[in-house]
C-alpha cells in the first residue's frame, strides 16, 4: 500500500499527480502536469479536506487507506467545488455513507447542482468554528477567489491554512510535497501563470481574502495545486506575490506582443525592443501571438509594468489572435500599466482605432501615439518606433508611477 505523506503532525497529504492531462480547463498547457491536493486531519474526528479529479479515484482511495485503514471519515471540508477538486465526492459518499460534508451556503447549493447530494451536509458561516477534538477548524469565506463558494479552512492549534486554489500553481509534485523538499524556483513562473489565467480578474476579491486572514499566524499554507508552503521565507514570498499580483503591481520590464502575417509588423516589434533595450530595459518578453501560447503572454503581462501590443489590420479588425489577447486582457481588468501600440496596413488602417477603443478609460498610461506603418517601413515610421521604445524605457527605468490616461489618446 502507498505510504502516507505527512504535512505536519496529524495532517497527511492524500492528493495525486496528473501527468496525463495536456490542457488545464481544456485551455491552458500543462508542460509539467498538475497536482490535485487533498489532506487528512486526524483527531477525535477525522477530517478530509477537499478531494481530487474523478479520474484519480483509485489512487485517491489507496492514499486515504494508507493513512486511515478502515477507519471512517467523519467530515469532508469542501473549500472549492470546481470538479478537479470535488470530482471524487460521489465516490466518497458511497464509500463513507455517514460522512458529513462541510461547506458554506453556496457550496451546499453546488453539491446538489453537480452531484444531487442533499443529505449529511451543513453550511458554515464566515469565521465559524468547528471542534474536532484537540483542534478547532475556523472557516474563512473568500468568495470569488475564484468561484463564489470558495473558502479557506484554518487549523488554529497547528497554524495550518488550507487555501483552496489560492497560492496554487501548475506543475506536479515530483517526489516531495513540501517547499523544503522541492526546487521552488521552478514553480515561481508557473504560479504567476496560474494566477494570471485562473484568478487574474479577481484582484479585489484576493485583496479582501488576504486582509481577512492577515491577523492569523500561519506556519503552513496548503493549496489545492502545487507545493505546501512551510518555510517562513517562502510563505512570506508567496503571500507578497499574491498581494502584488492582485494589486496589479509589477516589475520593471516590458512585454511586446504582436501578430504578423508577412513579417512587417514583426519588424516594428524588433525595432521597438531594440530601442527599449538600448535605453536600459533588460527584462523584455517578446511574444509572437501565433507562436506563444496566450497563457504565457498573460503571465508576462502580469509580471511586467510595460505593455506594447502590435497588430496588422485584418479584415478591418485586429489580427484575430491579437484580438483574442486584447479580449483576455479586458476580461482580467488589467490596470497600472504603461501602454503603447503599433500596427501595419496595406490600404485601410484599423489598428489605431481598435487599440484606441481598447485603452479608452483603462487605468493605463499611454506613453506615445500609435506607430502605424503603411505597407513598408519608411524611415519616419522606424524613427517613431524607436521613439516609442525609448519613451517606454524612460518610464520603466525611472521608477515612475503609472498616471492613467483616461482619454485613451
DSSP string for residues in 203-252: HHHHHHHHHHHTTS--SEEE-SSS-BB-SHHHHHHHHHHHHHHHTT--EE
Residues 238 and 294 occupy one common structural domain: no
Tell me the pLDDT band of 373, cut-offs 50, 70 and 90: confident
| Contact residues for 353 (Cβ-Cβ < 8 A; gap 6+) | none
Q: Identify the pLDDT of residue 408.
A: 43
The pLDDT tens digits of the residues spanning 327-340 come to 999 999 999 999 99
CA 180 to chain centre: 22
165, 205 Cβ separation under 8 angstroms: no
d(CA 241, CA 236): 8
Q: Which helix (H) or strand (E) holds 317?
A: strand 317-318
The pLDDT tens digits of the residues spanning 360-369 come to 888 999 999 9
Q: Which of 195, 221, 246 is the last residue of a domain?
A: 246
Q: Identify the pLDDT of residue 347.
A: 76
Number of domains making up the chain: 2
Cα(first)–Cα(last) distance of the chain, in Å?
65
Residues 74 and 204 occupy one common structural domain: yes
Residues in the chain: 409
Question: 301: which 3 cell numbers?
Answer: 503581462
pLDDT over 80 (residue 75): yes
Residues 137 and 285 occupy one common structural domain: no
pLDDT over 80 (residue 62): yes
256, 288 Cβ separation under 8 angstroms: no
The verdict on residue 255 lying in a domain is: yes
Tell me the pLDDT band of 9, cut-offs 50, 70 and 90: confident
The verdict on residue 405 lying in a domain is: no
The verdict on residue 404 lying in a domain is: no
The range of the structural domain enclosing residue 210 comes to 5-246
Residues 290 and 382 occupy one common structural domain: yes
Torsion of CA 38, 43, 47, 53, to 10 degrees: 20
d(CA 130, CA 378): 71
Mean pLDDT estimate for the chain = 94
Residues 68 and 102 occupy one common structural domain: yes
Provide mean pLDDT across the span 102-109. 97
CATH of the domain at 318: 3.40.50.360
The verdict on residue 409 lying in a domain is: no
Tell me the pLDDT band of 407, cut-offs 50, 70 and 90: low
305, 253 Cβ separation under 8 angstroms: yes
Residues 186 and 318 occupy one common structural domain: no
Residues 69 and 209 occupy one common structural domain: yes
Helices (H), 21-153: 57-68, 83-86, 89-95, 105-115
Provide mean pLDDT across the span 44-57. 97
Residues 190 and 57 occupy one common structural domain: yes
The verdict on residue 403 lying in a domain is: no
Q: Identify the pLDDT of residue 188.
A: 96
The pLDDT tens digits of the residues spanning 180-228 come to 999 999 999 999 999 999 999 999 999 999 999 999 999 999 999 999 9
Tell me the pLDDT band of 261, cut-offs 50, 70 and 90: confident
The verdict on residue 187 lying in a domain is: yes
Q: 227 preceded by cis ω (within 30°)?
A: no
Q: Identify the pLDDT of residue 313.
A: 85
Q: Which of 200, 230, 246 is the last residue of a domain?
A: 246
The verdict on residue 10 lying in a domain is: yes
Q: Identify the pLDDT of residue 1.
A: 45
Residues 83 and 218 occupy one common structural domain: yes
CATH of the domain at 95: 3.60.15.10
Question: 26: which 3 cell numbers?
Answer: 481544456
pLDDT over 80 (residue 69): yes
pLDDT over 60 (residue 409): no
Higher pLDDT, 345 or 69: 69
| Contact residues for 327 (Cβ-Cβ < 8 A; gap 6+) | none
Question: 114: which 3 cell numbers?
Answer: 453537480
178, 227 Cβ separation under 8 angstroms: yes
Q: For 106, how many CA atoms within 13 A lie in the half-sphere containing its CB?
A: 14
Task: Using DSSP bridges, classify how beta strands 16-18 and 34-36 pair: parallel, antiparallel or unpaired.
Answer: antiparallel
The torsion angles phi and psi of 247, rounded to 5 degrees, stand at -95, 0
Tell me the pLDDT band of 64, cut-offs 50, 70 and 90: very high
> Of all residues in the chain, what percent carry a pLDDT higher than 90?
85
The pLDDT tens digits of the residues spanning 147-163 come to 999 999 999 999 999 99
Residues 240 and 280 occupy one common structural domain: no
> Of all residues in the chain, what percent carry a pLDDT higher than 70?
98
d(CA 296, CA 213): 30
Provide mean pLDDT across the span 243-259. 97
Q: Which of 212, 246, 280 is the last residue of a domain?
A: 246
d(CA 370, CA 373): 10
Q: Identify the pLDDT of residue 4.
A: 67
CA 315 to chain centre: 33
The pLDDT tens digits of the residues spanning 276-333 come to 999 999 999 999 999 999 999 999 999 999 999 999 988 888 899 999 999 999 999 9
Residues 165 and 256 occupy one common structural domain: no
Residues 271 and 345 occupy one common structural domain: yes
The verdict on residue 408 lying in a domain is: no
CA distances to 3, 63, 149, 221, 374 from 34, rounded to whole Å, are 21, 17, 22, 18, 46
d(CA 149, CA 142): 8
Query: 223: left (phi > 0), else alpha (psi -120 to 50), else beta?
Result: beta
Amino acid at each position: 500500500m502507498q505510504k502516507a505523506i505527512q504535512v505536519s503532525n496529524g495532517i497527511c497529504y492524500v492528493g495525486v499527480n496528473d501527468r496525463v492531462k495536456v490542457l488545464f480547463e481544456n485551455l491552458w498547457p500543462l508542460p509539467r502536469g498538475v497536482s490535485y491536493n487533498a489532506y487528512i486531519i486526524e483527531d477525535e474526528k477525522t477530517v478530509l479536506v477537499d478531494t481530487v479529479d474523478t479520474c484519480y479515484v483509485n489512487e485517491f482511495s489507496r492514499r486515504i487507506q494508507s493513512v486511515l485503514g478502515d477507519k471512517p471519515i467523519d467530515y469532508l471540508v469542501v473549500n472549492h467545488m470546481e470538479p478537479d477538486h470535488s470530482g471524487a465526492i460521489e465516490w466518497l459518499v458511497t464509500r463513507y455513507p455517514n460522512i458529513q460534508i462541510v461547506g458554506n451556503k453556496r457550496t451546499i447549493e453546488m453539491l446538489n447542482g453537480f452531484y444531487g447530494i442533499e443529505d449529511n451536509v451543513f453550511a458554515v458561516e464566515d469565521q465559524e468554528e468547528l471542534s474536532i477534538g484537540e483542534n478547532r477548524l475556523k472557516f474563512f469565506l473568500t468568495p470569488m477567489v475564484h468561484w463564489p463558494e470558495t473558502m479557506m479552512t484554518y487549523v488554529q492549534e497547528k497554524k495550518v491554512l488550507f487555501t483552496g486554489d489560492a497560492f496554487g500553481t501548475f506543475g506536479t509534485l515530483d517526489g516531495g510535497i513540501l517547499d523544503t523538499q522541492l526546487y521552488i524556483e521552478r514553480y515561481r513562473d508557473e504560479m504567476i501563470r496560474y494566477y494570471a489565467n485562473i484568478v487574474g480578474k479577481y484582484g479585489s476579491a484576493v485583496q479582501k481574502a488576504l486582509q481577512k486572514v492577515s491577523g492569523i499566524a500561519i506556519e503552513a499554507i496548503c493549496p489545492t495545486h502545487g507545493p505546501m508552503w512551510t518555510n517562513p521565507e517562502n510563505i512570506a514570498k508567496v503571500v507578497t506575490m499574491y498581494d502584488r499580483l492582485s494589486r496589479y503591481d509589477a516589475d520593471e520590464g516590458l512585454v511586446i506582443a504582436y501578430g504578423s502575417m508577412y513579417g512587417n509588423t514583426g519588424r516594428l516589434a524588433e525595432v521597438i525592443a531594440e530601442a527599449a533595450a538600448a535605453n536600459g530595459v533588460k527584462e523584455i518578453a517578446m511574444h509572437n501571438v501565433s507562436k506563444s501560447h496566450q497563457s504565457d503572454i498573460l503571465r508576462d503581462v502580469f509580471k511586467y509594468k510595460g505593455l506594447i501590443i502590435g497588430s496588422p489590420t485584418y479584415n478591418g479588425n485586429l489580427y484575430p489572435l491579437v484580438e483574442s489577447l486584447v479580449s483576455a486582457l479586458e476580461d482580467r481588468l488589467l490596470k497600472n500599466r504603461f501602454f503603447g501600440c503599433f500596427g501595419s496596413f496595406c490600404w485601410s488602417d484599423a489598428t489605431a482605432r481598435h487599440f484606441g477603443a481598447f485603452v479608452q478609460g483603462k487605468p493605463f498610461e499611454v506613453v506615445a501615439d500609435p506607430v502605424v506603418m503603411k505597407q513598408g517601413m519608411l524611415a519616419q515610421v522606424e524613427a517613431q518606433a524607436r521613439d516609442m521604445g525609448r519613451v517606454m524605457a524612460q518610464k520603466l527605468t525611472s521608477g515612475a508611477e503609472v498616471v492613467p490616461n483616461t482619454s485613451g489618446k
